[in-house]
A and B are shown apart, each in its own frame.
Chain A
Amino acid sequence: NAGVTQTPKFRVLKTGQSMTLLCAQDMNHEYMYWYRQDPGMGLRLIHYSVGEGTTAKGEVPDGYNVSRLKKQNFLLGLESAAPSQTSVYFCASSYPLEFVSSYEQYFGPGTRLTVT
């Protein structure tokens, strides 16, 4: 049981390049989330998904796209990277809060992205 895994762990991009971050979970969770973490700002929600084939915008969605083709995977894409997207990206997954008495979002180890 690996929990939530993220690929890659580190990446350096040049401005304008594109890339995809992969998040995978093996806990059969319905909900998945992408956050970014910046110094002094905590974690901010980029996009989330409440099930296979669904996605929705979070607090800071601009410049990112996502896809949830399989229940266990949630992909985050940057079509044209900008220096403002330099950050640490975290994926998380959970069961719906309303359906379980013990609720928790499980986080991956993070991807450190630098855009030069």
Chain B
Amino acid sequence: AQSVTQLDSQVPVFEEAPVELRCNYSSSVSVYLFWYVQYPNQGLQLLLKYLSGSTLVKGINGFEAEFNKSQTSFHLRKPSVHISDTAEYFCAVSEAGTASKLTFGTGTRLQVTL
């Protein structure tokens, strides 16, 4: 069975600074990887996904992530954050042939301040 680890529960950062949110996964088969964002009191919204092909994927709101198979990682990055990026970010994995079920990490709270 797959699992996802987000080691950082909270990441404080100043506006316009770069940020990296870390995600590591464990699986014995091929995986698909996702980052979702949750703004306060809302549902989840897809930021970006890796299904196949180029290991560097770009998403909405200027975020990007790189799939590293040897390190089983899928870290999320943004070169310059805004106050509006303050939210909870979830990494998720789905194994091929599992009815597209997602296993989520515990989430990272990104707090952007002036």
Contact = CB atoms under 8 A, between A and B. Distances in A.
Contacts of B104: 35, 42-44
A42 B91 CA distance: 9
A80 B44 CA distance: 28
B90 A42 contact: yes
A105 B51 CA distance: 14
B43 A45 contact: no
Contact of B44 (A44, A56, A94, A107): A107
- Main SS of chain B's interface residues? loop
Nearest to A108: B43
Interface size class of A (residues with CB under 8 A): 20 to 34
Interface stretch (A11-19, A71-79, A95-103): A95-103
B100 A103 contact: yes
Nearest to A59: B103
A104 B49 contact: yes
A107 B45 contact: yes
Interface string A30-57: 0101010000111111001010000010
B68 interface: no
